[in-house]
Structure 1
Amino acid sequence: MSDRNAYEQKLRAKLDEMQAEVDKLKARAKGAEADQRIEHEKEVDELEAKRDEMRQKLDELRDASDDAWDDIKAGAERAWGSLSDSLEKARSRFK
């Protein structure tokens, strides 16, 4: 397996793990009181939008030419960082 394929598989596995965390937060949001539920649902929506952006970056990585791959990888890493940061912030507010 090439380094490129291994990297893509690693990111996809991390994204699957993160999806499980988002699902947990979504369940907590549904169980929250009305005021908090609105805020939590908004955060979950934002997380899902960033997750979708990350999936798009992964698709771009898969389809990228060798010349473009490094640039797209850098964009994927930025998207991953943004998603990870947002998830951590949401976790701290959902407690």
Structure 2
Amino acid sequence: MRYFTPCLFSLSLFLVACADESSTPPVPGETQVTGEDVKQKIGEAADTAKEFTKQKRDEYSKQLDQQLEGLDGKIAELETKGAKLKDDAKVEWNKKLEDLKSKRGKLSEKLKEFNESSADAWEGLKKDLDIAWGNLKEAYDKTAKEVKE
């Protein structure tokens, strides 16, 4: 008898927990959520996440495009300054300028690949673009410093 009451109480809790809730009538004023509702909301959330990711990719691409346009103007200025050089200095200068333009071209190719990528793949490509931009900026800064000297 000593264990009978706790066992009976545990059994009743078990039966209540296992009861088929679909047979219970809905509570007035409370909306029932179905599996279809959950699927729809998950689909909407996934679509929203994809759109957000696409927007971030497009913003990054636009920002990098603007930076490249600014750098193109600066490279043109360097070209003008380098045109005044003579002999060996001019040959060396042209090599550096061509290297700078080559890096700029490679970055443009990476940006094109980035723009054509899926929204899911852009994070990895963004890292590559950040590295390429850093290398190009460093090459420009080094070349611009040599012009001043």
Pairwise TM-score range, normalised by the shorter structure: over 0.9
Superposition TM-score, scaled by structure 2 size: 0.61
Pick from 91, 100, 104: which aligns with 1:47? 100
Give the Cα separation in 1 of the matches to 2:130 and 2:144: 21
Pick from 49, 56, 62: which aligns with 2:115? 62
Q: Which amino acid aligns with 1:40?
A: W
Q: Which amino acid aligns with 1:61?
A: F
Larger Rg: 2
Look up the match of 1:71: 124
Displacement after TM superposition at 1:66 (Å): 2.1
Please report the RMSD computed on the Cα atoms of aligned residues, expressed in angstroms: 1.2
Q: Which moved more, 1:23-32 or 1:11-20?
A: 23-32
Aligned-pair identity (%)? 26
Is 2:84 the counterpart of 1:31? yes
SS at 1:53 equivalent = helix
- Of Structure 1 and Structure 2, which has the larger fraction of its residues in helix? 1
Give the Cα separation in 2 of the matches to 1:76 and 1:54: 7
Moved over 2 A (4+): none
Alpha-carbon contact 2:61-2:115 (below 8 Å) kept: yes
Alpha-carbon contact 2:100-2:136 (below 8 Å) kept: yes
Q: Which moved more, 1:25-34 or 1:83-92?
A: 25-34
Higher relative CO (Cα under 8 Å, sequence separation at least 6) belongs to 1
Per-residue deviation, residues 59-81 of structure 1 (Å, max 9, x unmatched): 01100112221111111111000
Per-residue deviation, residues 12-40 of structure 1 (Å, max 9, x unmatched): 00000001111111111111122211111
Q: Which amino acid aligns with 2:94?
A: E
Is 2:70 the counterpart of 1:17? yes
In the alignment of these two chains, the number of paired residues is 95
Structure 1: runs of 5+ lacking an equivalent: none
